[in-house]
Amino acid sequence: MAEAAEWAGRVGLEWARRVQALDRQLAPAGEIGLKALDAHPGERVIDLGCGAGAMTQAIAAAVTPGGAVTALDISPDLLDVARARVGMGCVHFHEGDAAQFDLSGGHDALFSRFGCMFFDNPPAAFARLRRALKPGARVVLTVWSDMARNPWARIPAEVGARVLGPAEPKSPTAPGPFAWADPAYPHAILTEAGFGGVTQDEHDIELVIGDGAEADPVERGVTMLTHIGPLARRLASEAPATRARAADALREAIAPHVRDGWLRMPGVVRIIRARN
């Protein structure tokens, strides 16, 4: 529940404050996921972990006319943003832990962009979500591959280890952004929950990272990566002097990734498909 509590509180608020920067950063992954979903007019789709609603809005446009989107998220701050930006009557927002919802049945698809890796009991959560789907309904989930292949996260984590010492050990499948990095883990979860036809394929993307009004792209990158991501979590309770040391180390580490006026870092995402 610690992960869920952070998203319902501090982490969700930080994301809501930086929604435009995060929309830009995650847009390539969202485009790949939406193409895999291939939503059509008249369909009913669940958007799991809808966040600030960028994917919700795109799905709603695809299922109009006649369709509907059920959008779920645990962060009240992100849902405030989503409700303000998605002014479409076919979208219904629900706040809380998706593992506890009893949704009506008959949905044609379950979609998630980075919102499915945070359940304490994933098989139980997906078994419950499965009851809201039609027979034959499709599942399309976008997750991160392992951190080693995602330097946008690995480099800040390495900076944290140098400045703060090694992070507290945890299970590689503990709830978090890289919990589904091993393809065998989501395959087992979805199979146990009753889904079939599980397939997975990987895609290389480029993340454009930065927030704030600074002209220097390195400074925009430092602002983002010290407020969002693995280093940000470790710095949240640190003194200003320690935060400054981490920012200095981060500047040096990310500077080689600046190109065309932006911090641009590679990433690898995996698209998981399944059928009810």
| Residue 90 belongs to a domain | yes
pLDDT at 88 (0 to 100) = 85
| Residue 233 belongs to a domain | no
Q: What is the pLDDT of residues 44-84, one digit of tens each?
A: 999 999 999 999 999 999 999 999 999 999 999 999 999 99
pLDDT at 1 (0 to 100) = 52
**Strand intervals (E) in the chain:** 44-48, 68-73, 91-95, 107-113, 133-144, 196-209, 258-259, 262-275
Give the integer Cα–Cα distance in Å for 102 and 215. 48
Give the integer Cα–Cα distance in Å for 102 and 42. 22
Question: pLDDT under 50 in the chain at which residues?
Answer: none
Q: What's the CATH number where 91 sits?
A: 3.40.50.150
- Reduce the DSSP state of residue 212 to 3 states and report it: coil
| Residue 250 belongs to a domain | no
Whether the link from the prior residue into 65 is cis, omega within 30° of 0, is yes
The domain total for the chain is 1
Tell me the whole-structure pTM to 2 decimals: 0.95
pLDDT at 9 (0 to 100) = 81
DSSP state of 64: T
Torsion of CA 48, 272, 5, 165, to 10 degrees: -150
Domain with 199 in it: 2-148+171-207+267-275
| Residue 189 belongs to a domain | yes
pLDDT at 179 (0 to 100) = 96
pLDDT at 12 (0 to 100) = 87
